Amino acid sequence: MLWAYAQRLTSFRFLYILFVASSSVEHGSARITSTFIRSEWPSIDVPLDNEVFKVPKGYNAPQQVHIIQGDYDGKAVIISWVTTDEPGSSKVQYGTSQKKYDFSADGTMTNYTFYKYKSGYIHHCLVDGLQHYMQTGGQTVLFVGDLSYADRYKYNDVGIRWDSWSRFIEQSAAYQPWIWSAGNHEIEYMPNMGEVFPFKSYLHRFATPHLASGSSNPLWYSVRRASAHIIVLSSYSPYVKSTPQWKWLREELKKVDREKTPWLIVLMHAPIYSSNVAHYMEGESMRAVFESWFVRSRVDLIFAGHVHAYERSYRISNIHYNVSSGERYPIPDKSAPVYITVGDGGNQEGLAGRFYDPQPEYSAFREASYGHSTLEIMNRTHAFYHWNRNNDGRKVATDSVVFRNQYWASNLRRRRLKKIL
C-alpha cells in the first residue's frame, strides 16, 4: 500500500478556499460511527524495482530531496538530499528567478551505519532570508509520525527501505515543506542487530528547525507558519515534569502570540483521545502531563496518528481526574482542543477496524478507512476542516467541520485567557 504513504498527512492550506460540500457546525451533530466499509485489499509491498522508487540518472545525482521550514517564522527552509557515489557538495545555489542563482548557502553532510548497511551521504542545507518563499504561502504538510515503516524489515533492508521510501516521497516532499513528527516506527530499537540508539535513521535523515524555537532536540520543536503556531511534540521522548521537553513546552506556550498567529495547533504521534481498540489509552501517559496546559492555552486542534483509522473528538477534557478523587470521565469543556486522530494514511499493517462500543461521549466521528485531513484557515476566527476518505484513489470529503478559533471566536474567553497568562 505504498501509494498511500504520501497521504499520511494533514494538508494545511492558508490561502485557498475549497467548496464545503457538507459542513456541520462544531458542536451540532450527534456521535457518528461511520458504516463505510472499505474493500480490504491485501497490504502488499510495491516491488523495489517499481517506477516510484527509481534512482535518478547521472553520477552522484541528488536523490531523496525533501524540505522543511528552516526557522521559527518561515523565512528559511532546510533542504535535505542524499548522494551515493561520493560526498559531493553540500552547497545550495538559489535566486529570485529561474536559472539565475545569485546566492548560495553551505550545508552539512552526515552518514551512518545500521547493522551492516552504510547510508549514502546525507546533506542538510539551511537557506535563510527567503522573503519571497514566505510570501507565496502555499500548502504545508503536517505529518503525524511513522514515516517509512522500514523497521518492519530486518538487517540491511532497514536502511534500503528508508532510501526507497525517501525517493518515493520526493515528488511531494521536495516541493512543499513537510513538518515532521516522529512515531514509534522511527525508534528502531533493535538490540538483536546491535542497534539501540533511538531514532538513529530518522535523526540522520530528517532535519527539523528545533534550535530556532529553543529546543535542544530535533524531536520536539515549533514553527510559526502564516497564521498558525504549530507545536510538534515527541510521544517517545521524556515529557514528564523537569524533563527538557516539559521545560521547553512550558516556555514555548508563553511565546505563543495569538495576535500574530491566531491559530494554535499541536502535533503528536500517540493520540490522547481515541476510542479505537488499537493502542487504546496509550496517550494516557502524556494526557496526565500536558492536558491541563492544552486547555489553559486554548489550543485549537491536536492532531495525532498511530491508530490506523480516523476519529475526531468534541471539545472535552479530563483535567479534573484525580488519583484520590474527582471526575473519572472526560467532560465537555469549551476551552479544550479538538483531538483528531488521522493515522489512516495507509501502511503495511492495514486498518485498525475495531472501535469500542458504545461510542464514548467524547467521540464525534470515527471511521476506519484510509484518508487524510485538510485544514483551510480562512481568517482569525474560522477555519474549514475536512477529513477526506481515500476511497481507493478518489478523495471524498467525509467529515467536514467549520472550526471557530479558541482565542478569537469569543471576546469573553479571550479576555479570560489574557488574565490567566
- Helices in 99-243 by DSSP H: which ranges? 131-135, 157-168, 170-173, 200-205
Piece of the chain touching a copy of itself by CB under 8 A; list 26-34, 57-65, 209-217, 370-378 = 209-217
Q: How many residues does the chain have?
A: 421
Separation CA 111–CA 200 (nearest Å): 11
* Residue in 73, 85, 327, 392 binding a copy of itself, rule: CB under 8 A: 327
Instruction: Write the CB contacts of 350 (distance below 8 Å, at least 6 apart in sequence).
Output: 40, 43, 308
321 lies in the binding site for a copy of itself (CB under 8 A): yes
Question: CB 307 → a copy of itself: shortest distance, Å?
Answer: 13
Residues of span 210-229 touching a copy of itself by CB under 8 A: 214, 216-217
Question: CB 189 → a copy of itself: shortest distance, Å?
Answer: 5
Place of cell 476506519: 368
181 lies in the binding site for a copy of itself (CB under 8 A): no
Give phi and psi for 244, each to the nearest 5: -55, -40
* Residue in 242, 393, 394, 420 binding a copy of itself, rule: CB under 8 A: 242
Question: CB 304 → a copy of itself: shortest distance, Å?
Answer: 13
Catalytic residue among 279, 306, 372, 386: 279
Label the pairing between strands 91-94 and 394-404.
unpaired
Question: CB 222 → a copy of itself: shortest distance, Å?
Answer: 15
- Whether the upstream peptide bond of residue 238 has omega within 30° of 0, thus cis, is no
Question: CB 265 → a copy of itself: shortest distance, Å?
Answer: 22
| 307, 341 contact by CB (below 8 A) | yes
Nearest partner of 152 among 307, 348, 289, judged by Cα = 348
Residues of span 353-392 touching a copy of itself by CB under 8 A: 356, 360, 362
55 lies in the binding site for a copy of itself (CB under 8 A): no
Taking CA atoms, 165 is separated from 3, 55, 169, in Å, by 10, 11, 6
279: left (phi over 0), alpha (psi -120 to 50) or beta: left
Separation CA 214–CA 244 (nearest Å): 11
Piece of the chain touching a copy of itself by CB under 8 A; list 60-68, 297-305, 324-332, 376-384 = 324-332
Piece of the chain touching a copy of itself by CB under 8 A; list 12-20, 21-29, 46-54, 183-191 = 183-191
268: left (phi over 0), alpha (psi -120 to 50) or beta: beta
> Which H helix or E strand runs over 201?
helix 200-205
Comparing CB distances to a copy of itself, the nearer of 39 and 324 is 324
Whether 279 sits among the annotated catalytic residues: the reply is yes
* Residue in 11, 84, 227, 237 binding a copy of itself, rule: CB under 8 A: 237
279 lies in the binding site for a copy of itself (CB under 8 A): yes
Residues of span 286-315 touching a copy of itself by CB under 8 A: 286-289
- Within a 10 A sphere around the Cβ of 411, how many other Cβ atoms? 8
Question: CB 300 → a copy of itself: shortest distance, Å?
Answer: 22
Nearest partner of 296 among 247, 256, 340, judged by Cα = 256
Comparing CB distances to a copy of itself, the nearer of 289 and 402 is 289
Comparing CB distances to a copy of itself, the nearer of 57 and 241 is 241
Separation CA 302–CA 319 (nearest Å): 16
- Within a 10 A sphere around the Cβ of 76, how many other Cβ atoms? 20
* Residue in 324, 393, 394, 412 binding a copy of itself, rule: CB under 8 A: 324
Separation CA 169–CA 278 (nearest Å): 27
Separation CA 231–CA 213 (nearest Å): 10
Comparing CB distances to a copy of itself, the nearer of 52 and 187 is 187
Could you give the string, one character per residue 335-354, with x where binding to a copy of itself holds by CB under 8 A and - elsewhere? Answer: --------------------
Q: Which residues are catalytic?
A: 279
Would you tell me which residues interact with a copy of itself (CB under 8 A)? 184, 187, 189, 191, 196, 198, 214, 216-217, 235-244, 247, 270, 273, 275, 279, 281-282, 284-289, 318, 321-330, 356, 360, 362
